[in-house]
Amino acid sequence: MVANVYIDGFNLYKGCISGTPFKWLNPRALAEQLLRGQKIDVVNYFTARVIDRPEDPRQSQRQDTYLDALATVERVKIHYGHFRTRKKRVWLVQPQQNGGHFATAKVTEEKATDVKLASRIVWDACHGYMDSALVISNDSDFQESIDLAMSKGVAVILVNPHHHAGQEDHLVGTDLRRLRRVHLERSQLPEEIALANGAVIRRPPEWGP
């Protein structure tokens, strides 16, 4: 059984990594724990480069360090979308003092990442690149692609990163796996990674335990 892995990077981060000391994650090691007994071919990691904010001017630097570290992991392929910030009229939960229920805000949205993940699942399934697929996300937008992959005989194993927080499963596949804290703890990259050119990548100090 050959498996490919599809990780919705920001869904995973928001679901169970943010606020923990496990940001220095090796996604291949995580997949190996969740798919014991299966041969993993490609781990596809879908993300977008973050935009620095005044309250955190180094977040893009930390992400760059992490992405450089991921590039050293065998058979991990990074797929990039992008962020777009635009003005948007939004509904307020609490009305303003003047009674207004709307305000104009700057909203940052992730673009293209989901489309790339959904397309990749279908492409790989139609070309017979895998017997099974591990999808780490709880975004219901992927259901159609998952259904198409299963129609081609691919077993789709789902992981909901938000399950521990009580968010119901929004996707239906062939099987489910539960992502636990111990899986993240056991799937960390080395604190220092030596490159062939002699440079060393180090885990950002803010990400330490």
d(CA 33, CA 28): 9
d(CA 139, CA 167): 11
* 100: containing domain: 83-109
Same domain for 202 and 167: yes
Whether 120 has a pLDDT exceeding 80, the answer reads: yes
pLDDT average, residue stretch 134-142: 97
Mean of all residue pLDDT scores within the chain: 91
pLDDT score for 62: 96
If you ran DSSP here, which 8-state letter would residue 6 be given?
E
pLDDT range class, residue 109, cuts 50, 70, 90: low
Q: Are 157 and 173 in contact (CB under 8 A)?
A: yes
Same domain for 121 and 194: yes
- Structural domain count, the chain: 2
Same domain for 126 and 94: no
Same domain for 116 and 195: yes
Same domain for 102 and 12: no
Same domain for 180 and 119: yes
Q: Residues 169-191: pLDDT tens digits?
A: 999 999 999 999 999 999 999 99
Same domain for 199 and 99: no
- Please report, rounded to a whole number, the percentage of residues in the chain having pLDDT higher than 70: 95
